[in-house]
Structure formats: structure tokens, C-alpha cells
């Protein structure tokens, strides 16, 4: 992710989440130690998706991942997730965590396909609407692809 990508990333973020991160949040992530802000681009459309990965020692967190609405349901989320996992593994991450709304069956199915397992639940974690978060984890000790 570069500074010129941030406005498009914020638009995708706003379309994907009810409590979106602000533009300055994304801008401040660029160049931060331990942060891997990634974008997925299309040759004609530019940025169509993004992921934000935190890497601290041997643990990582997939903080955000989203695609523009017109690109969902085409397998691109899996490609973006796979790339994030590869980057995490290259940074020495052995356990990758994420949180997902308990009602987000599509995302949970994607994470399941990539070997993530539920390891916890955060009650009333999300707002608008209030909802639990499932905490999921995947070991990256071996091959990062599924």
C-alpha cells in the first residue's frame, strides 16, 4: 500500500464495514515497523482490495481484509488471504490470528478453507450492530498455502 492507494482503500473499507477505519489510520500504517499494509490491484481498475497485517515477533494478526463489492465471490479474497499469509510467514510469523463477526458466514467459510480454527470468542466486540467476534488462528509453521 502506498499513500496514493489510501483513498480507494478507505472507500472499500467504508463499503465493507459498519465501523470503518479512517483515512489517517491507513495513512499512518504505511512505513510502520511490524505493519504490512497490502493491496490487490486490477490492471484496469487499480486497487480492488486490501489487507492489513500486524507482525510482532512470531505472532501476527490479520487486522483487516476486504474487497470492493464488485470483486467479491470470485475467489479473489482467497488469493489476498493467501498472499497475507505468505507475507506473514516470510516475516517469521508462526501463528496468525484474526477476528471475524460471528454472523459473517462467508468470511468464516473462507478462513476455514485456509485452515483457521476458532480459538476464542469476544463477547459484544463489534458495534453497529453489537455482535460477538470469533477469534481464529492458523499455524504458519509449515507451508502457508492450503
Alpha-carbon distance 41 to 75, whole Å?
14
Which residue in 97, 111, 125, 126 is the catalytic one?
A: 111
| 23 catalytic per annotation | no
- Packed helices 105-113 and 76-90: angle between N→C axes, nearest 10 degrees: 50
Residue 117 falls in the annotated catalytic set? no
Task: State the cell numbers at 142.
Answer: 509449515
Which residue among 45, 99, 117, 131 is the active-site one?
99
Catalytic residues: 99, 111
Amino acid at each position: 500500500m502506498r499513500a496514493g492507494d489510501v483513498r480507494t482503500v478507505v472507500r472499500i473499507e467504508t463499503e465493507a464495514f459498519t465501523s470503518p477505519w479512517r483515512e489517517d489510520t491507513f495513512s499512518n500504517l504505511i512505513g510502520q515497523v511490524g505493519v504490512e499494509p497490502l493491496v490487490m490491484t486490477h490492471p484496469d481498475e487499480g486497487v480492488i482490495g486490501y489487507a492489513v497485517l500486524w507482525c510482532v515477533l512470531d505472532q501476527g494478526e490479520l487486522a483487516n481484509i476486504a474487497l470492493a463489492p464488485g470483486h467479491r465471490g470470485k475467489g479473489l479474497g482467497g488469493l489476498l488471504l493467501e498472499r497475507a499469509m505468505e507475507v506473514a510467514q516470510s516475516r517469521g510469523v508462526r501463528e496468525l490470528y484474526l477476528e471475524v463477526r460471528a454472523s459473517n458466514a462467508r468470511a468464516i467459510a473462507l478462513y476455514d478453507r485456509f485452515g483457521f480454527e476458532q480459538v476464542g470468542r469476544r463477547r459484544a466486540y463489534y458495534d453497529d450492530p453489537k455482535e460477538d467476534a470469533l477469534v481464529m488462528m492458523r499455524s504458519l509453521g509449515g507451508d502457508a498455502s492450503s
